[in-house]
Amino acid sequence: MVTMPATSLDPEVAARLKRTADGLVPAIAQQYDTGEVLMLGWMDDEALHRTLTTGRCTYWSRSRQEYWVKGDTSGHVQHVKSVALDCDGDTLLVKVDQVGAACHTGDRTCFEAGPLPLG
């Protein structure tokens, strides 16, 4: 289990979160005005606190074991419009105004590969 740093997340919000064994919650980024699903990232309490207080999406990189603010290196910023927690407390929906590509591949969304075959 990864030990995350102390956070300033509102204790009432923190109490509602159901985290993975690694202390993370999946965060779905969605374009606020079109409903387009952009990407999935991971947040711990501190990343959520930073997202709520800065208005920019901060995620926890599971591979690099560090925080990253969407757009700091690419310029493809996510301006936060709202954040909601689902009924189970185990998934965040972050409505954003996406500037440029959301996906690290340069695509608008991480779901550009198309649907998988059914049946």
CATH number, position 43? 3.10.20.810
What pLDDT was estimated at residue 1? 46
Q: What is the pLDDT of residues 52-94, one digit of tens each?
A: 999 999 999 999 999 999 999 999 999 999 999 999 999 999 9
The answer as to whether 21 is a domain residue is yes
To the question of whether residue 45 is assigned a binding role by annotation, the answer is: no
Dihedrals phi, psi of 27, to nearest 5 degrees: -125, 115
The answer as to whether 105 is a domain residue is no
What pLDDT was estimated at residue 33? 98
Parent domain of 88: 11-98
Report whether pLDDT(115) > 90: no
Report whether pLDDT(50) > 80: yes
Q: What is the pLDDT of residues 31-47, one digit of tens each?
A: 999 999 999 999 999 99
To the question of whether residue 86 is assigned a binding role by annotation, the answer is: yes
Tokens of 79: 């301006």
Q: Is 49 helix (H, G, I), strand (E, B) or coil?
A: helix
The answer as to whether 60 is a domain residue is yes
Angstrom distance (rounded) from CA 23 to CA 17: 10
Q: What is the CA angle 112-49-18, rounded to 5?
A: 75
What pLDDT was estimated at residue 6? 61
Report whether pLDDT(4) > 70: no
H or E element that contains 14: helix 11-16
Pairing of strands 92-98, 25-31: parallel
The answer as to whether 113 is a domain residue is no
pTM of this prediction? 0.89
Number of domains in the chain: 1
The answer as to whether 56 is a domain residue is yes
The answer as to whether 79 is a domain residue is yes
The answer as to whether 57 is a domain residue is yes
Report whether pLDDT(114) > 50: yes
To the question of whether residue 57 is assigned a binding role by annotation, the answer is: no
For residues 89 and 18, the answer to whether their CB atoms sit within 8 Å is yes
Using pLDDT thresholds of 50, 70 and 90, give the confidence band for residue 2. very low
To the question of whether residue 10 is assigned a binding role by annotation, the answer is: no
The answer as to whether 109 is a domain residue is no
To the question of whether residue 22 is assigned a binding role by annotation, the answer is: no
Tokens of 39: 């990407």
